[in-house]
């Protein structure tokens, strides 16, 4: 078909298009689309529009002509509605030198997706293999969805209140959460945004105040990771999580889900992947960035531009120090916050942001970290870092991470709590540090002024064994011990009892620690993945939550629900600063704690008066025998102590509400059974007994 003529207009931008914003934008006042695409090294670019009834032949082929349609490195065009006709999808043909030894991979026959597309359509004949070899991909490549021409604005975003001491983060996978038939959802709805919305009453009853969704960026619908860590586009909710798989439905259901979570006073965080894309290893598909301008988007090994770096483990690290990539990340982050209502972002492999354009680690102030930190203050958004790199070459946990105010996944908390629960030597001193708020990592001195809540405390997440598997399988790399029987089949009752007790212990330590607690969906009712620590590609019952466990493990679920309520009711646990003089540490005899390597026990006395809260006394027994703890002199006398939590007691005595918990009798020595934790409470309003 002939090339379309350029529109004639007195206005520069009406005739030539505008270089900003990037992407495709509908302009209702002009009844026209503006298109803008970055490419520094391209020699020619053609915009292609497609109707729904013909995905092979474009209904409009518009070459972007020099000098009118290029400003700097931005190629742009303005297309009136009449010229676009009834087109609903778009893509680009990008020409330029094909010199792989220089990292230049241009191929004008490839149909390419706009990195800023606000929706991605996969044609029925979508073919990944075609994108991996030379030759045309029309009709087989993903297309951008043109913006809605009605100009209708999305509903206004009503934010939930910002949680502080009661912030409980619940990590979940949208599809895995309700995909299992036991979820109670209709078959068509299982694994969708809508099904998660329907499960909000469960989250509310559990006490969750923030959900952290594993990646929901649009990805390859056929190949890749079930967990979602191979994104194709940074501006589109994954259509596979819509109840009918349609792009429009994904947008509608995602926004409705966020609005419903907000109405339930639950914040929404996204796990975002900005360090690599689905155009994975060298020789992988050419769908978007690689064909638009490979050396501008991806980093390469110094001196060998044909060899992409692979710190992320995805095979193609984005050059996060490059201005075009920084702009892409900031634009995407702002889109999810401002247009989709997200309250926080958790950055996968955030230490990748510390790598500069030369490939060296810049520990000072990487530009993207600085820009995100500044923007988050304006956006009033929480930023959470996974402060390391996938290949293990860069660990920046704590003060080493350049984002001074960011929250961080605390892998030291995870590992140290696991070691203590396993019974390793030398864990008592570090257990004290982790419970206090990990001030070794987040110092609260004048120079650093870090806050305990910056430590996102967790014991298990998607990455590794589930909490149930942590006590069901021997796995040294996961710091896991099986409690005397390998696996979940044919487990003796006494082993099951110990596993449940250890699970309660883990949740107890998590909820008693200063900081921000996080746990993964299903751990509250004993979900197992069969001992697999990395089922990233399993779209089956390995990852799907079996909701029948909420009945089979109802006692554990009740314990976790009441434990969360206990933490929420006592703001003296999660403070904005360390416990300081309000805490004292003790041994079994009520004196100083035993810090020897062989020690397995600890007690703490947390006074609540400065927070207008109750006093707490906690016994932690990591031995295989019962210990009898004595209260220190400072904790004796006054109002009666009540025993609220005993992880060794049979349910429902394992956790009690304060108003039903009986006073403790003889205070001389209180028993804590083997591998157990007890929590006593002295109410600030209780009557003092004579």
Q: What is the pTM of this model?
A: 0.96
Instruction: Tell me whether residue 4 is in a domain.
Output: no
Which of the 8 DSSP states describes residue 317? B
243 and 338 together in one domain: yes
559 and 598 together in one domain: no
CATH number assigned to the domain comprising residue 633? 2.60.40.1180
Residue in 32, 34, 45 with CA at minimum distance from that of residue 75? 45
Percent of the chain with pLDDT over 70: 97
DSSP string, 33-94: EEEEEE-SS-SEEEEEEEBTTBSSS-SEEEE--TTTTEETTEEEEEEEHHHHTT--EEEEEE
- Count CA within 13 A, CB hemisphere, residue 387: 26
Query: Residue 7: is its pLDDT beyond 60?
Result: no
* Whether 390 contacts 313, CB under 8 Å: yes
Radius of gyration of the chain (CA): 28
Query: Residue 485: is its pLDDT beyond 60?
Result: yes
Catalytic residue from among 348, 416, 523, 553: 348
Higher pLDDT, 494 or 306: 494
Catalytic residue from among 279, 386, 613, 615: 386
| Residue 386 is a catalytic residue | yes
Number of structural domains (the chain) is 3
The tokens for 225 are 């990771």
* Tens digits of residue pLDDT in 57-99: 999 999 999 999 999 999 999 999 999 999 999 999 999 999 9
Query: Residue 688: is its pLDDT beyond 70?
Result: no
pLDDT score, position 690: 41
Residue 577: how many other CB atoms lie within 10 Å: 13
216 and 121 together in one domain: no
Question: Who's near 645: CB < 8 A, 6+ residues apart?
Answer: 508, 563, 566, 654, 655, 656, 677, 678, 679
What is the enclosing helix (H) or strand (E) of 456?
Answer: strand 455-457
* Tens digits of residue pLDDT in 500-559: 999 999 999 999 999 999 999 999 999 999 999 999 999 999 999 999 999 999 999 999
Instruction: Tell me whether residue 152 is in a domain.
Output: no
Instruction: Tell me whether residue 6 is in a domain.
Output: no
Query: Residue 249, Cα to own-chain centre: how many angstroms?
Result: 23
Higher pLDDT, 392 or 343: 343
* Whether 576 contacts 453, CB under 8 Å: yes
- Count CA within 13 A, CB hemisphere, residue 265: 13
Angle between helical axes of 411-422 and 428-436 (0-180°, round to 10)? 140
Instruction: Tell me whether residue 5 is in a domain.
Output: no
CATH number assigned to the domain comprising residue 65? 2.60.40.10
Query: Which of 299-313, 362-376, 514-528, 626-640 is the most confident on average?
Result: 514-528
Query: Residue 685: is its pLDDT beyond 80?
Result: no
Averaged pLDDT, 226-239? 97
The DSSP bridge partners found for residue 388 are 395
| Residue 348 is a catalytic residue | yes
548 and 589 together in one domain: no
* Tens digits of residue pLDDT in 396-450: 999 999 999 999 999 999 999 999 999 999 999 999 999 999 999 999 999 999 9
CATH number assigned to the domain comprising residue 396? 3.20.20.80
Query: Residue 282: is its pLDDT beyond 70?
Result: yes
Range of the domain at 86: 12-145
CB burial of 421-436 (b: ≥16 within 10 Å; e: otherwise) equals bbeeeebbbbbeebbb
88 and 179 together in one domain: no
Cα dist from 80 to 5, 231, 265, 287, 607, whole Å: 12, 32, 43, 27, 69
Instruction: Tell me whether residue 1 is in a domain.
Output: no
Query: Residue 51: is its pLDDT beyond 80?
Result: yes
Give the C-alpha separation, 19 to 570, whole Å: 54
491 and 617 together in one domain: no
pLDDT score, position 6: 52
Query: Residue 224: is its pLDDT beyond 80?
Result: no
- Asked if omega into 365 is within 30° of 0 (cis), the reply is no
């Amino acid at each position: 078909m002939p090339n379309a003529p350029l529109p004639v207009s007195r206005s520069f931008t009406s005739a030539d298009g505008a270089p900003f914003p990037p992407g495709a934008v509908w302009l209702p006042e002009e009844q026209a689309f503006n298109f803008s695409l970055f490419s520094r090294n391209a020699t020619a670019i053609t915009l292609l529009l497609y109707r729904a009834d013909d995905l092979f032949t474009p209904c409009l082929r518009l070459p972007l002509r020099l000098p009118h349609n290029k400003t700097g490195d931005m190629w742009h065009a303005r297309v009136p509605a009449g010229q676009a006709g009834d087109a609903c999808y778009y893509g680009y043909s990008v020409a330029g030198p094909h010199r792989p030894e220089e990292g230049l991979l241009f191929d004008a026959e490839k149909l390419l997706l706009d990195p800023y597309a606000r929706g991605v359509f996969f044609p029925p004949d979508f073919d990944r293999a075609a994108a991996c070899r030379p030759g045309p991909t029309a009709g087989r490549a993903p297309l951008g969805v043109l913006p809605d021409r009605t100009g209708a604005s999305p509903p206004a975003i009503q934010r939930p209140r910002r949680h502080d001491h009661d912030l409980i983060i619940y990590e979940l996978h949208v599809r895995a959460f309700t995909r299992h038939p036991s979820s109670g959802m209709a078959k068509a709805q299982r694994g969708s945004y809508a099904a998660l919305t329907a499960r909000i009453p469960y989250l509310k009853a559990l006490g969750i105040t923030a959900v952290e969704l594993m990646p929901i960026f649009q990805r390859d619908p056929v190949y890749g990771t079930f967990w979602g860590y191979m994104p194709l586009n940074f501006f589109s909710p994954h259509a596979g999580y819509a109840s009918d798989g349609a792009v429009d439905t994904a947008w509608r259901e995602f926004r409705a889900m966020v609005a419903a979570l907000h109405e339930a006073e639950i914040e929404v965080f996204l796990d975002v992947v900005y360090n690599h894309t689905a155009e994975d290893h060298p020789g992988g598909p050419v769908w978007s960035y690689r064909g638009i301008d490979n050396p501008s988007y991806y980093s390469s090994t110094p001196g060998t531009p044909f060899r992409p770096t692979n710190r992320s483990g995805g095979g193609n690290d984005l050059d996060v120090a490059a201005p075009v990539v920084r702009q892409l990340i900031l634009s995407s982050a702002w889109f999810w916050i401002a247009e989709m209502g997200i309250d926080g972002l958790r950055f996968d492999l955030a230490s990748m942001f510390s790598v500069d354009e030369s490939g060296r680690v810049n520990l000072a102030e990487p530009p993207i970290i600085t820009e995100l930190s500044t923007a988050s203050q304006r956006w009033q958004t929480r930023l959470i870092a996974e402060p390391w790199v996938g290949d293990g070459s860069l660990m920046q946990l704590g003060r080493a991470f350049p984002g001074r105010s960011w929250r961080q996944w605390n892998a030291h908390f995870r590992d140290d709590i696991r070691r203590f629960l396993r019974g390793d030597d030398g864990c008592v001193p570090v257990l004290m540090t982790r419970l206090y708020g990990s001030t070794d990592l987040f110092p609260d001195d004048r120079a650093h002024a870090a806050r305990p809540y910056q430590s996102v405390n967790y014991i298990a997440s998607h990455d590794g064994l589930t909490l149930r598997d942590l006590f069901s399988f021997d796995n040294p790399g996961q710091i896991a011990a099986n409690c005397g029987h390998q696996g979940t089949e044919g487990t003796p009752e006494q082993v099951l009892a110990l596993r449940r007790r250890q699970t309660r212990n883990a949740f107890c330590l998590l909820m008693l620690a200063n900081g921000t607690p996080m746990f993964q969906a299903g751990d509250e009712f004993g979900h197992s993945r069969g001992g697999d620590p990395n089922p990233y590609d399993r779209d089956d019952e390995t990852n799907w939550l079996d909701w029948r466990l909420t009945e089979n493990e109802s006692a554990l679920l009740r314990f976790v629900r009441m434990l969360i309520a206990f933490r929420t009711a006592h703001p003296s646990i999660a403070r904005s600063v360390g416990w300081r003089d309000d805490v004292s540490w003790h041994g079994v005899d009520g004196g100083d704690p035993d810090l020897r390597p062989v020690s397995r026990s600890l007690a703490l006395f947390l006074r609540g008066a400065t927070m207008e809260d109750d006093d707490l006394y906690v016994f932690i027994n990591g031995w295989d025998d019962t210990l009898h703890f004595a209260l220190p002199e400072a904790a004796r006398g006054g109002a009666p102590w009540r025993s609220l939590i005993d992880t060794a007691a049979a349910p429902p005595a394992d956790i009690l509400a304060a108003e039903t918990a009986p006073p403790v009798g003889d205070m001389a020595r209180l028993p804590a059974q083997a591998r157990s934790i007890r929590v006593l409470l002295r109410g600030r309003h209780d009557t003092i007994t004579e």
